[in-house]
Amino acid sequence: MNNKKLYLYLYYASLFVTALMMILLLVKSPAKYYNGEYELVSGFGILACIINVILVAVFTVLFGIRKKLDKVNILFPAQYILFTLIVLVLCHLFNNKLLIPYVHYSYYNVFILFNYTLLNIYSILSIGKKRRRKRK
Amino acid sequence: MMKEIVKKYIFMVSALFSIVVVCMMITSYKAAYKEISLHDTNINKVLLNKYKNELSTIKDSDCKKAVEEIVKHYEDTSYDGKVDLRDKYFNGKSILGYTLKTFDSCNLTDEQKGILSSNFITSSIQFEEIVNELYFQYELSVPDSWTRSTLKPTMDNVRYRINRSSHLDLIGDLIQVLKEGK
């Protein structure tokens, strides 16, 4: 398996992990307002979610058309997946300490989505240009 | 060439961001405040023993059982040493829950019920309301965000002892009313 193919697999694996996190968050979502004051679902979180959906669509469409990736670093999606899993494990540990469940999942998803935005921008920048056919 | 430099920087920012967030989370988790050290006073302990001995003066067995349940509630919710408020009170019963059962079992008069009702309510407000308030302070004491100001649970021993005795006052008043009879 070459580097670029592995990058693609890892990219879609990170999409899967992010989607799983969002589903987990939606299913087990806590009250949106804590104690009437603390807003858990921030505007930035929703905005980041929408931006990421658009970026994934752009990457998929562009890669579908050009079918070419430039030089990529497979450490990027790998570190993103690792980061997401560590954050989720730590959120789970926090969850055991708290009375209102799933507060930290809601809070830290913003950090995960920010990192995912960076990964998406990197991936879109990595899509190669279509080669022009040389005239004989 | 420019694109490659931008890509390199994006990767570096992401890696640094991940390390910082994870480090912050681990630090916050370690700093999470979980236990409070609280002790009941010796006076309260002596009073409790006194009331337990006086339980034998209650002749009606149903009534005695009902009062014993309140005493057991007091003992079950007593703190001694380091305690975790969440474990202790997460599914805790309120002392108000014993009101009707005590009134029914002890066949009290309306006047006695009137006096004791206010005692039950006062006892609940003085101690359980404070414990409920502590839930929120406890929750906020976990510094999950470095931008969020944190509060530590403020129940100290003095506040605990003063408010805790409200439960004992209720038990004492109840035994006194039952001693006096109808």
**Interface predicted TM-score (ipTM):** 0.83
Is the pLDDT at A34 greater than 50? The verdict is no
In A, residues 86-125, which contact B (CB 8 Å cutoff)? 86-87, 90, 93-94, 97-100, 103-104, 107-108, 111, 114-115, 118-119, 121-122, 125
A32 inside domain = no
Residue A43: which H helix or E strand, with range? helix A43-66
- pLDDT score of A7: 92
Q: What is the largest CA-CA distance in chain A?
A: 73
- pLDDT score of A38: 44
CB contact, 8 Å: A85 with chain B?
no
**Are residues B10 and A121, on separate chains, in Cβ contact within 8 Å?**
yes
Nearest beta carbon to residue B86 from set A35, A94, A99: A99
Report how far Cα A43 is from the mean position of its chain's Cα atoms.
17
A63 inside domain = yes
User: Where in chain B does DSSP place strands (E)?
Assistant: 36-39, 80-83
Q: How long, in residues, is chain B?
A: 182
Question: What is the number of domains present in chain A?
Answer: 1
A31 inside domain = no
**Are residues B3 and A125, on separate chains, in Cβ contact within 8 Å?**
yes
- pLDDT score of A115: 93
Question: Number of Cβ pairs closer than 8 Å across A and B?
Answer: 77
A73 inside domain = yes
Is the pLDDT at A97 greater than 90? The verdict is no
A53 inside domain = yes
**Are residues B22 and A115, on separate chains, in Cβ contact within 8 Å?**
no
**Are residues B7 and A126, on separate chains, in Cβ contact within 8 Å?**
yes
A57 inside domain = yes
Among the listed residues B85, B64, B81, B173, the one whose alpha carbon sits nearest the alpha carbon of residue B134:
B85
A54 inside domain = yes
**pLDDT class for A39, splitting at 50, 70, 90?**
very low
User: What is the pLDDT of chain A when averaged over all its residues?
Assistant: 80
Q: Which residues of B touch A35 (CB under 8 A)?
A: 136
- pLDDT score of B158: 67
- pLDDT score of A36: 44
Tell me if residue B81 falls in helix, strand or coil: strand
Tokens of A108: 């830290």
- Which residue does chain A place closest to B17, by CA atoms? A115
Q: What is the residue range of A88's domain?
A: 3-25+40-125
- pLDDT score of A43: 65
Q: Other CB atoms closer than 10 Å to residue B119's CB: what's the count?
A: 19
Stretch among A43-47, A108-112, B114-118 having the lowest mean pLDDT: A43-47
**Are residues A73 and B86, on separate chains, in Cβ contact within 8 Å?**
no
Angle at B141 (CA atoms; ends B136, B144), nearest 5 degrees? 110
pLDDT in tens, chain B (182 residues): 788 899 999 999 999 999 999 988 888 777 666 666 777 778 888 888 998 888 888 888 888 888 898 888 888 877 777 776 666 655 567 788 888 888 888 888 888 888 888 888 888 877 777 766 666 666 555 555 555 555 555 556 666 666 777 888 888 888 888 877 64
A107 inside domain = yes
